[in-house]
Structure 1
């Protein structure tokens, strides 16, 4: 069992390491390694160290391109947790709004354009707010986190080590969870085909539309639910 204080340290560190590896993050390799050394659970610590070995030993351009290809170009390994459960449906919009309201109640404000279901944001909230209400979004989206972990394992990306560590700190999957994850892995998230006011746009209340459903909304570029990455070479974010 991973103790609450250890979970907070892990979630805070994983939140940072799952963000885009810009120059500031890559320059902080020594500090990140020191933070990982404070993790006490042997399996959790080993998984994070394995990831950091890759991160600090790989050139910046390769790390950045790998991140974009892993998380930005593939829905199967996207970092937006409500998509796994709700797909591009009204239910996802409501889930996003519920998350945003939960954050607001605890004083957490999102950056402009940032969606509340982004895994690094969910992990940061869990680390800051703690067990109970803080970790509730992670527990509610346990199946999505597991599906993401399995996709990263299948892809062979070093980011799988971070999800391995996070999943070790979460409640174990039930048999029902495993069945649901297996079904989602085959069928993908639900798709809404009714109530469209215009082609490619969901008819949602203004408050939900302000949050946005992309990624991966109907207006997003077509990125199929496929285990294989696109053949085009990704470009690093600015």
Structure 2
């Protein structure tokens, strides 16, 4: 799979993926439609991946999508949207990693919602859309975790895999050659530090559930 970075379209891809990786609540039909209308006509394989997801999502009933979302992301540790879980697990050092990400947001004048952890992938993607240089660097620091999630979604045959594929195409550098290599890279330890375009819209808050809280 080619992952050539398209610097002009990467912020668009990041914001689109942030919107589409959010929980499909009552405003869901607007989100894939907005993304589809915004990216139509843009070049690149990552844009085709976004459109493929939108086409599939728009055919589904929102309640079915919501149930599938919970089954995909909230009931499996293999498909966690919180990236420091892959690098730090349920350990003490995860708190330091979360604080480091939050500090990076604040350094660039961005204040994410208080009711969400800073390593939530849609949050990190929105940051990369708003502050492309620093946000892309932060995503790249956690690329191994993103790739592990991508492999897991592909194995699960989830349409959300298209979104992770699109994001990975926009990240600089060499991608892990396999899931095993990506897993090895997540175990080397968290990054020591993290070093535009107007967003389509802010992504929606994700509803809380007991099993989600326990997992986090």
Query: TM-score under structure 1 normalisation?
Result: 0.73
Other structure's SS at 1:4 match:
coil
For residues 184 and 216 of structure 1, the distance between their equivalents in structure 2, rounded to whole angstroms, comes to 28
Number of the residue aligned with 1:144:
145
- Equivalent pair of 1:85/1:144 in contact (CA under 8 Å): yes
Alignment size in residue pairs: 192
Number of the residue aligned with 1:200:
none
1:113 maps to which of 108, 112, 115: 115
Bigger CA radius of gyration:
1
The alpha-carbon deviation at position 183 of structure 1 amounts to 4.6
The alpha-carbon deviation at position 178 of structure 1 amounts to 5.9
Larger relative contact order (Cα-Cα within 8 Å, sequence gap ≥ 6): 2
Number of the residue aligned with 2:53:
51
- Equivalent pair of 2:83/2:142 in contact (CA under 8 Å): yes
The alpha-carbon deviation at position 180 of structure 1 amounts to 4.0
1:14 maps to which of 17, 28, 33: 17
CA pair 28-16 structure 1, distance change in 2 beyond 3 A: closer
Query: TM-score under structure 2 normalisation?
Result: 0.80
Query: Counterparts of 1:1-238 in structure 2 under 5 Å?
Result: 1-41=4-44, 43-131=45-133, 133-171=134-172, 172-174=174-176, 179-183=180-184, 220=214
Q: What root-mean-square deviation, in Å, do the aligned CA atoms of Structure 1 and Structure 2 show?
A: 2.7
For residues 74 and 5 of structure 2, the distance between their equivalents in structure 1, rounded to whole angstroms, comes to 30
List alignment gaps of at least 5 residues for structure 1.
191-214, 224-238
CA pair 80-28 structure 1, distance change in 2 beyond 3 A: closer
Other structure's SS at 1:167 match:
helix
Q: What does the per-residue CA deviation read over 1:30-72, in whole Å, with 9 as the maximum and x for residues that have no partner?
A: 322112314311x112111110111101011110101111111
Number of the residue aligned with 2:203:
none
The alpha-carbon deviation at position 174 of structure 1 amounts to 4.9
